[in-house]
Structures are given as C-alpha cells and as structure tokens.
Amino acid sequence: MHLAYPAVLSVLLFCTGLYGVLARRNAILVLMSVELMLNAVNLNLVAFDVWLRDTLHAGQALTLFTITVAAAEIGIGLAIVLLVYRNRGSSDIDRLRDLAEQAGEADPADRDAQQPDTKAEATA
C-alpha cells in the first residue's frame, strides 16, 4: 500500500481537528477535536510502524500509550470543564476571558464568587 494514503489521511484529520480546536465554542467540542488530532497522530504512528517493520513495535506501543494518555486527559479535561460550568454557568471557551487586561468588563460579582473557590481548590 502506498504510504501516502495513511499519511495524507492523517494530515487531513489533524487539520480538521485543528480547525475544531480553533473554531468550536463549547469546551467539550474542543476536547473532541483534540481527540481527532490525537487519533491522526496515532494513525501515523501505526502506519510508519508497519512500513518500517519495527521489531520493537515502537509505533504501536506508543499508540497504546497515547490512547491511554488521551483517556486520562479526557477524564481530567471533562472534570475541569464541569467545574468551570458549575462556577460560570457556561462552558463556552471564548467567554472565559479573565486573563484579558480590561478588568472592568468582567462581572465583579461573578469574580467575587469565583475567587475564593479557586483559592480553595488551589489549597486543597
């Protein structure tokens, strides 16, 4: 099989995921797009492993590891998203702008309620 097929497919999947990460508004959809990107990488790893006939099967082992790490990432990521959602009432990424400079825009009451909680999380 021509190597270009899996490689090009992987590239296209990766860029699709990239578009999703940049364009999607909902944090969970962004996480999905990240999964797409990870899978594109996995596809590449497997294809090259098969092509090179690696005796160590480094590509496949790494794929397995990536899958595992992705599972862990999705768990933590979802937990964070849920936390944000509970604190903010929204999981829209482009509304989480507290790091922007103009402090006057954010709702002060919202931030007052937010800050003790985040501190508490940091200390816990």
**60-79: contacts with other proteins (CB under 8 A):** 60-61, 63-65, 67-76, 78-79
Residues near 94 by Cβ (< 8 Å), separated by ≥ 6? 25
Least Cβ distance, residue 34 to other proteins (angstroms)? 11
Show contacts with other proteins in window 27-66 (CB under 8 A): 27-29, 31-33, 35-36, 39, 42-43, 46-47, 49-51, 53, 55-57, 60-61, 63-65
Residues near 13 by Cβ (< 8 Å), separated by ≥ 6? 36, 37, 39, 40, 43
Give the nearer residue to other proteins in terms of CB position, either 108 or 120: 120
Read off φ and ψ for residue 56, nearest 5 degrees: -85, -15
